[in-house]
Amino acid sequence: MAIEPFDVVDLIRTKRDRGALSTDQINWLIDAYTRGYVADEQMSAMTMAIFLNGMERTEIRDLTLAMIASGETMSFETLSKKTTDKHSTGGVGDKITLPLAPLVASFGVAVPQLSGRGLGHTGGTLDKLESIPGWRASISNEEFYRQLEEVGAVICAAGSGLAPADGKLYSLRDITGTVECIPLIASSIMSKKIAEGTAALVLDVKFGSGAFLQDPARGRELAETMVQLGKDAGVDTVALLTNMNVPLGLAIGNANEVRESVEVLAGGGPADVVELTVALAREMLELAGVHDADVEGALKNGQAMDTWRAMISAQGGDPDAALPVARETHVVVAETDGVLVEQHALPFGIAAWRLGAGRARKQDPVQHSAGIDLHVKPGETVTAGQPLFTLSADEPERFVRALEALEGSYRIGNAEEFESAPLIAGRIS
């Protein structure tokens, strides 16, 4: 039996006492945890020590590289197109990947978007797309590369071989109260994205009530950390810091978010979804060397829609098929005249989850028809009796707990009480 070069308890003590781990220690720790030598309870102690005491800049870099080295990496060198990717830290109503990937690909750039499923109040891109009859999240490597070459955009499930250490660590963080830790968030996201092999990456880092990090300063710190990690690995990386205090768009759920995405691709859709889609597309295209692209024009003239239809069809989906519709609805109306001055994102995400749009455990199914459709956004005038939002679910008994989550989540007041805030709060490059 081989003698291990380090003792995990010594490493835990080092982080507990605010010390720094060396490159060799971090490489050994991640390798030993991946192969099962370091136990979950020991890694739980380590993640809590990191949560409480942080990591130095070099430690975060070493942790990211060690997680990449724990598994396979991908390469797009054989493609005839440049690659560019996007990652969002997640939020309520965030369906941006759906219109964004085909929009960028319609300019001759390859967008390899390996996505995941939702857990808790944050929706998963794959869950949304599986609302489309016939669409497949899992495709072979051969299909993946062929679709990138022929269509330009792929949104699919990531294989288990990419950064497997992150998969183990992510599950552990979820049950140990260490999710909201910048070194662990940054290394988790960037290990997977760098392992995916894209040449350029645009990050949508969210802050606010519906985001992992509510404080804008913490969001900026995370964005700066991830941009630097990307550049360390030779990946051109830019981040936009975006506001998630209010739900994004008017649809929260799965099938209804697909409908809203198709509206955007048809040249319509809510202004905030269009604004963020266009901003991210411009960043992705610039990094891929496509300058001064008429992004808005591609949404209005059908160029992006054609790529969407080809992308969905290539994975077995029917872009013309009817999407699921819930059996039951419940409309909430305004009780007074006035202006909608508050609409907090997190309670709406939790309510959609309780309606069946999300899952509490990874193995749970989702109801693709469940969700919430907003009829009014903050700053808009309403009259008593006017619909504010509609809840949708297959079982009417779900409405009670969803409405409980929404108590105090919105407020109608005077126009002077409303404070508008920019959707895009900053850019880090």
* Marked catalytic residue, from 70, 131, 188, 369: 188
Q: State residue 252's pLDDT score.
A: 97
Beta bridge partners of 207: 213, 243
For residues 276 and 385, membership in a common domain is answered with no
Q: Which of 283, 206, 252 is nearest to 393 (CA)?
A: 252
pLDDT, tens digit (0-9, with 9 covering 90-100), for 102-146: 999 999 999 999 887 765 666 689 999 999 999 999 999 999 999
Q: Which of 227, 217, 254 is nearest to 118 (CA)?
A: 254
pLDDT at 87 over 90: yes
Q: State residue 170's pLDDT score.
A: 82
Is 161 inside any structural domain? Answer: yes
CA-CA distance, 88 to 423, in Å (whole number)?
A: 14
Domain boundary pick from 288, 314, 340:
314
Question: What range does the domain containing 34 cover?
Answer: 8-54
Within 8 A by CB and 6+ apart from 34, the residues are 70, 164, 165, 168
Is 110 inside any structural domain? Answer: yes
Give the chain's end-to-end CA distance (angstroms, integer). 48
C-alpha distances out from residue 102 to 109, 134, 152, 311, 368, Å: 10, 19, 8, 7, 22
Domain CATH number, residue 257: 3.40.1030.10
For residues 342 and 222, membership in a common domain is answered with no
Q: State residue 313's pLDDT score.
A: 98
* Marked catalytic residue, from 61, 173, 193, 220: 173
Mean pLDDT of the 30-50 span:
96
Domain CATH number, residue 25: 1.20.970.10
pLDDT, tens digit (0-9, with 9 covering 90-100), for 146-171: 999 999 999 998 877 888 998 888 88
Mark whether 420 is an active-site residue: no
Is 388 inside any structural domain? Answer: yes
CA-CA distance, 163 to 65, in Å (whole number)?
A: 10
Is 59 inside any structural domain? Answer: no
Mark whether 192 is an active-site residue: yes
Q: Are 339 and 417 in contact (CB under 8 A)?
A: yes
Stretch among 93-102, 358-367, 370-379, 406-415 having the lowest mean pLDDT = 358-367
* Marked catalytic residue, from 15, 61, 87, 368: 87
Look at the alpha carbons of 392, 372, 321, 157 in this order and tell me if their dihedral is positive or negative: negative
For residues 337 and 291, membership in a common domain is answered with no
Q: State residue 278's pLDDT score.
A: 98
pLDDT at 358 over 90: no
pTM over 0.85? The answer is yes
Mean pLDDT of the 221-233 span:
96
Mark whether 188 is an active-site residue: yes
For residues 299 and 150, membership in a common domain is answered with yes
* Marked catalytic residue, from 15, 61, 192, 309: 192
pLDDT, tens digit (0-9, with 9 covering 90-100), for 368-406: 999 999 999 999 999 999 999 999 999 999 999 999 999
For residues 129 and 256, membership in a common domain is answered with yes
pLDDT at 196 over 70: yes
Mark whether 95 is an active-site residue: no
For residues 403 and 264, membership in a common domain is answered with no
For residues 353 and 409, membership in a common domain is answered with yes
CA-CA distance, 305 to 229, in Å (whole number)?
A: 34
Q: State residue 122's pLDDT score.
A: 64
pLDDT, tens digit (0-9, with 9 covering 90-100), for 288-346: 999 999 999 999 999 999 999 999 999 999 999 999 999 999 999 999 999 999 999 99
Tokens of 132: 């489309």
CA-CA distance, 225 to 186, in Å (whole number)?
A: 7
What's the mean per-residue pLDDT of the chain? 94
pLDDT at 227 over 90: yes
Is 61 inside any structural domain? Answer: no
For residues 145 and 213, membership in a common domain is answered with yes
C-alpha distances out from residue 147 to 224, 288, 310, 332, 358, Å: 33, 18, 9, 43, 29
Stretch among 101-115, 172-186, 270-284 having the lowest mean pLDDT = 172-186
- pLDDT > 90: percent of the chain: 87
Is 12 inside any structural domain? Answer: yes
CA-CA distance, 396 to 392, in Å (whole number)?
A: 9
Number of domains in the chain: 3
Q: State residue 177's pLDDT score.
A: 85
For residues 249 and 352, membership in a common domain is answered with no
For residues 354 and 274, membership in a common domain is answered with no
* Marked catalytic residue, from 62, 85, 127, 166: 166
Domain CATH number, residue 398: 3.90.1170.30
Domain boundary pick from 280, 314, 348:
314
For residues 254 and 377, membership in a common domain is answered with no
Domain boundary pick from 250, 285, 314:
314
- pLDDT > 70: percent of the chain: 97
pLDDT band of residue 179 (cuts 50, 70, 90) is: confident
Q: State residue 180's pLDDT score.
A: 84
CA-CA distance, 380 to 382, in Å (whole number)?
A: 7
Is 368 inside any structural domain? Answer: yes
Mean pLDDT of the 26-53 span:
96
pLDDT band of residue 363 (cuts 50, 70, 90) is: low
Is 98 inside any structural domain? Answer: yes
For residues 166 and 273, membership in a common domain is answered with yes
pLDDT at 172 over 90: no
